[in-house]
Amino acid sequence: MTKVSASILDCDFLHLEKEIRAVIAAGIDSLHLDIMDGQFVPNLSFGVPIAKSLRKIVTVPVYAHLMVIKPENIIEKFIPHADFIIFHVEAAEDPERCISIIKTSEREAGMSLNPDTPIEMIKPYLQTIDNVLVMSVYPGFGGQQFIPTALERIRLLSELRKETGGSFTISVDGGVSPANCHSIVKAGADILIAGSAIFKSPDYAQTIRQLRCLTS
Ligand code: DX5
Ligand code: ZN
């Protein structure tokens, strides 16, 4: 069954604990933390102190999505506070080293690609990573429109997984909503990451059910 991950970028930060508890009670499968450095992406978000605090109350797996230049410098700081560490292939100086730091620390490793980054860039790592995160918006901000060419990229990755015998999951991040989730899942995505679609909706549980494609 399709899994749904909540990106907290668009939640009510004044009531962060309440928001996290609400979205967990509403049935999310994991929590997605968008870490931005103002350089790899034109925005800043939050960092280790927030991830550390959240870890105390979160009962689902935590994904740290590092949108930072030279992730190899910061990965270790997130190890205690996340189950999956996702870094951008465009931002890493040494992707193999990033994977090795994550795996040695017994965490799951994921790689992400921006919408116009060739899939070929992550091909060499597909046998060793646990997750590929397909960006369906240019990273940096919540609430953007889904870029439809992401669908073809998901299909391609899904085929590559069959061909290479890789066991990575495919997640999709940016502009995911109940209106487009069916086509995203049909293309081969396993995990739908949604921020504004959940946090701007009046009923988190209903939106999460819709994103699972249980109802249309
Ligand atoms: C974009 C982030 C996403 C995004 C999700 O830089 O990686 O996680 O904020 O938010 P929505 O679902 O609103 O596009
Ligand atoms: Zn993200």
Assess whether pLDDT exceeds 90 at residue 77: yes
3-state secondary structure of 27: coil
- Distance (Å, rounded) from C-alpha 25 to C-alpha 104? 32
Q: Where are the domains of the chain?
A: 3-211
34: annotated active-site residue: yes
Give the CATH number of domain 3-211; options: 1.10.530.10, 3.20.20.70, 3.30.465.10, 2.30.40.10: 3.20.20.70
Query: What residue type is assigned to position 113 of the chain?
Result: L
What is the whole-number distance in angstroms between the Cα of residue 145 and the centre of ligand 1?
A: 10
CB 150 within 8 A of CB 115: yes
pLDDT band (50, 70, 90) for residue 174: very high
Residues in contact with ligand 1 by the CB-under-6-Å rule are: 7, 9-10, 32, 34, 65, 137, 139-140, 142-144, 173-176, 193-197
Which of the 8 DSSP states describes residue 123? Answer: G
The first and second tokens of residue 170, run together, are 């495919």
Q: Which atom of ligand 1 approaches the CA of 140 most closely? A: 6
* Number of residues written out for the chain: 216
Q: Return the closest-CA partner of residue 28 out of 215, 216, 214, 204.
A: 204
Q: Return the closest-CA partner of residue 86 out of 78, 94, 160.
A: 78
- Distance (Å, rounded) from C-alpha 64 to C-alpha 110? 9
Q: For residue range 107-162, list pLDDT tens digits in order.
A: 999 999 999 999 999 999 999 999 999 999 999 999 999 999 999 999 999 999 99
What is the whole-number distance in angstroms between the Cα of residue 195 and the centre of ligand 2?
A: 9
What is the whole-number distance in angstroms between the Cα of residue 6 and the centre of ligand 2?
A: 9
pLDDT value of residue 1? 86
List the Cα angle 203/206/9 in 5-degree steps. Answer: 60
